[in-house]
Amino acid sequence: MTMNISSTQSNALIKLVKTVAFFALPLGLASCAAPVEKSSTPAQSTAVANVANTAPGAFYSGEYRNAFVELGIASPEQVSKKVNETYQQLFYSDSRSESGKAVFFPVGDDMGFIKDIGSNDIRSEGMSYGMMIAVQMDDQEMFNKLWKFSKTYMQHKDGWYQDYFAWHLNATAPFGHKSENPAPDGELYFAMALFFAENRWGAGEGINQYKDEANVILQAMVNKPETDSQVTMFSRDEKQILFVTEKGLGVYTDPSYHVAAFYELLARWADEDNQLWADAAQVSRDYLYNAAHPETGLYPEYAAFDGTPQETSFNDISHKSGYDAFRVIGNIAMDHHWFNADPRQQELADRMIGFYADEYKRKGQNYAVHEMDGRIVSEWGSSGQNAMNGTAAMITNSQEAKEFTERLWKQATPTGKWRYYDGLLHMFSVLQMAGEYKIYGPTDATQ
């Protein structure tokens, strides 16, 4: 979860607390992997005159688009170099000061953490993002270091929170919890990264029996008993993920947590609750269509289960479009690229990118925070927002989308105080547009 505290400095990224039917594929395809045998585009996907919308998703075809090459922005060799250099800077640079380059900090020889440089803390968001990036980069050693730290210092061992992860830690030993509460986006990314890890590398020993660990997390996400103060982080009634589990803060969701592509895979691979995850994928696609502003295409930080913006007591931009919302277009692009199940996604991309393109033409830049109707709230922009907007060309062939992809290509990997959130979103966007953000299914595992 990502929150903003007002600032006149660029990218004030501080957290405070953290449509179309289900592919007509039987849930018995639990062993289905990507790439799988080629299949025609799902029957419910209405074809449009757009290459990005007519091709079957990568889950079916096993083919991942290198948009940088397709759009004539770079050669395959240049793309490969950019992916590797971005990863090396964020995870292996020795420059770890506030003004430095790295977000990964080692702890001994076998652990390490992703640090939010600007707020000097460790978050379940960043740890799970780091694990997802590591498995995409085929870096098992890095993955295991992040996972061991997460298990050792973040995951609760007992009590109501058992198997949830404290979302917020001190960045110095003994790495005490700044909050016991979980952030559901962290659990979702932990589980998905762990499935990919086992499917790519096979199961290891102890905590590196990745798939078993993933299933423990999923069970906790949906099966906790409700108490006077807490509710489980995934609503069976609404089939939606929550923003927080604390009733005192309110029971609602966050549009950027609606990662339909992950739910599709969990429906096939999880040990239990497969139909719930299948339903959640469809609900999320509908939700993201309903939650988008009808004119600007913007999404709020937080929203009720019907998609209307949700005000909170702890974030002064909670009902505006800001930092959490940067991720929504990237999640839609991933879902479109992997599954291509919802033709409405092109409309969503065209609407949002059209708004940002118009702002860019008028102002010479884009701004980080807006009212939902598009009025500018912040005085600064965000390289993380720019990066996520650069993924829209996975959904639409518009000239505006291509221009944002070109800006992503030219954008330097973020450095300095705000490189945590901006840098990780930049890395995800580069992976997506390079065709290197992939599904690793069960038949891909090295047994």
> Cα(133)–Cα(193) distance, rounded to whole angstroms?
8
> Cα(386)–Cα(326) distance, rounded to whole angstroms?
9
Among 198, 254, 324, 359, the one annotated catalytic = 324
| Residue 21, C-beta contacts closer than 8 angstroms, at least 6 positions apart | 44, 282
Judge contact between 392 and 329, C-beta under 8 A.
yes
Among 125, 213, 273, 403, the one annotated catalytic = 125
Q: What's the Cα-to-Cα distance from 249 to each of 17, 315, 411, rounded to whole Å?
A: 10, 11, 37
pLDDT at 55: 78
pLDDT at 33: 37
> Cα(263)–Cα(126) distance, rounded to whole angstroms?
20
Task: Kindly give the interhelix angle for 399-410 and 419-433, rounded to the nearest 10 degrees.
Answer: 120
Domain ranges of the chain: 29-439
pLDDT at 446: 36
Beta strands in 188-285 (DSSP E): 234-235, 240-241
Residues 275-301 as b/e (b if ≥16 CB within 10 A, e otherwise) read: ebbbbbbbbbbbbbbebbbeebbbbbb
pLDDT tens digit at each of 447 positions of the chain: 554 333 333 333 333 333 333 333 333 333 333 333 333 333 333 333 355 677 789 999 999 999 999 999 999 999 999 999 999 999 999 999 999 999 999 999 999 999 999 999 999 999 999 999 999 999 999 999 999 999 999 999 999 999 999 999 999 999 999 999 999 999 999 999 999 999 999 999 999 999 999 999 999 999 999 999 999 999 999 999 999 999 999 999 999 999 999 999 999 999 999 999 999 999 999 999 999 999 999 999 999 999 999 999 999 999 999 999 999 999 999 999 999 999 999 999 999 999 999 999 999 999 999 999 999 999 999 999 999 999 999 999 999 999 999 999 999 999 999 999 999 999 999 999 999 999 999 974 433
Judge contact between 284 and 258, C-beta under 8 A.
yes
Nearest CA among 408, 381, 417, 416 for reference residue 10: 381
pLDDT at 1: 57
Assign domain 29-439 to a CATH class.
Answer: mainly alpha
> Cα(91)–Cα(94) distance, rounded to whole angstroms?
9
pTM, rounded to two decimals: 0.89
Cis previous bond, 56, omega within 30:
no
Judge contact between 347 and 20, C-beta under 8 A.
no
pLDDT at 306: 97
pLDDT at 220: 98
pLDDT at 15: 34
Asked if 272 is an active-site residue, the reply is no
Asked if 403 is an active-site residue, the reply is no
pLDDT at 14: 32
Cα 293–251–169 angle (5° rounding)?
A: 100
